[in-house]
């Protein structure tokens, strides 16, 4: 046994004794490989590591990637893709502009034929990059659309749809039609308090309608991919999860309206927040103040 391994085992045994997690679970997390590839249906699957969930299509006729997380995690995904195919990527798609979904775009520079997003998503990405002075680290979409866009890659048809402002003003649903898999981006935070980006045109009341349009457009056999999920919740699910998200947003607005009617200021609302929104108890964890703040500002027009 060499020194490094002996030192690792000694340190691990001490650490395990002080961890809340059982030893096996802690070691499993410590030794887990970077990123995870999981096939969902046909040749479509997801990659999870750090940031928003990535979806992919990899087959003998083409490659498509939806969202890119960060440069380091995108590099891990590229390694996994190269194990299965030497083809150039046909499409890189961004569901929206946030850095945990587009930060890894730059890792695909020179490797992809086309980068696609909603026109507002591209505008938001450019605006944020300029304000944060990160223009040199961006790979912007070269193809944008307004309401719907579609392209065939091999035997699969990929269709992007925009149903209006929700999480931002540029969120796309990305549908792999033959596999019937839909990436929702951050229009879906499964059992996790969402980020409502009002600086980028988010609108909670319309978000509820957007999810309703999605339920009508896709069917009960659709596998939905979510941008994020809470502890113990899945990053994939069914139309019932979209219904649950609709309910959360509706109950959020209902709760905040009642607090406003009772004369609460935003500061008082945040001080007295409950553990969860009444009527939506499965949405838990950190970040509830983001939802409350966004709802208050939307309903009152105040910041």
pLDDT at 126 over 80: yes
Phi/psi at 37 (nearest 5 deg)?
-95, 130
Residue 156's nearest CA partner among 38, 37, 43 is 43
Say if domain 35-300 classifies as CATH 3.60.15.10. yes
Distances (CA, A) of 234 to 181, 187, 226, 228: 15, 15, 8, 8
What is the length of the chain? 303
- Domain positions in the chain are 35-300
Q: Please give the share of the chain, as a percent, with pLDDT higher than 90.
A: 85
**d(C-alpha 245, C-alpha 194), whole Å:** 10
Per-residue pLDDT of 36-81, as tens digits, reads: 999 999 999 999 999 999 999 999 999 999 999 999 999 999 999 9
The pLDDT of residue 34 is 67
Task: Measure the CA–CA gap between 301 and 303, rounded to whole angstroms.
Answer: 7
- Pairwise CA distance, residues 52 & 215, whole Å: 22
Residues 6+ positions from 74 with CB-CB distance below 8 Å: 68, 103, 104, 105, 106, 107, 108
pLDDT digits (tens, 9 = 90+) for 92-111: 999 999 999 999 999 999 99
pLDDT, one tens digit per residue, over 157-175 is: 999 999 999 999 999 999 9
Is the model's pLDDT at 143 over the cut of 90? yes
pTM: 0.88
pLDDT of residue 273: 87
Helix axes 288-300, 239-261, angle to 10 degrees: 60
Express each pLDDT in 5-41 by its tens digit: 333 333 333 233 333 334 444 333 334 446 899 999 9
């Amino acid at each position: 046994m060499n020194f490094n391994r002996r030192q690792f085992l000694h340190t691990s045994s001490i650490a395990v004794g002080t961890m809340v997690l059982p030893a096996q679970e802690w070691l499993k997390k410590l030794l887990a490989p970077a990123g995870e590839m999981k096939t969902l249906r046909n040749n479509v699957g997801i990659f999870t590591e750090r940031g928003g969930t990535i979806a992919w299509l990899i087959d003998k006729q083409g490659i498509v990637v939806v969202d890119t997380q960060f440069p380091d995690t995108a590099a891990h995904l590229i390694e996994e893709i190269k194990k299965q195919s030497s083809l150039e990527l046909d499409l890189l798609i961004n569901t929206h502009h946030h850095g945990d979904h587009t930060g890894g775009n730059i890792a695909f520079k020179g490797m992809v034929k086309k980068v696609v997003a909603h026109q507002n998503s591209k505008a938001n990405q450019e605006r944020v990059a300029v304000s944060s002075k990160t223009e040199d680290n961006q790979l912007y979409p070269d193809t944008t659309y307004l309401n719907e866009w579609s392209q065939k890659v091999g035997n699969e048809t990929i269709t992007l749809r925009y149903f209006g402002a929700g999480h931002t003003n540029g969120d796309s649903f990305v549908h792999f039609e033959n596999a019937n898999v839909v990436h929702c981006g951050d229009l879906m935070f499964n059992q996790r308090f969402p980020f409502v980006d009002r600086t980028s045109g988010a609108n909670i009341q319309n978000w509820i309608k957007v999810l309703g349009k999605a339920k009508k457009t896709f069917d009960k056999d659709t596998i939905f991919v979510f941008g994020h999920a809470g502890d113990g919740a899945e990053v994939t699910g069914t139309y019932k999860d979209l219904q649950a998200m609709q309910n959360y947003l509706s109950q959020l607005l209902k709760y905040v309206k009642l607090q406003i009617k009772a004369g609460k200021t935003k500061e008082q609302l945040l001080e007295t927040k409950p553990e969860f929104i009444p009527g939506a108890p499965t949405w838990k964890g950190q970040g509830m103040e983001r939802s409350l703040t966004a709802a208050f500002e939307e309903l009152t027009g105040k910041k």
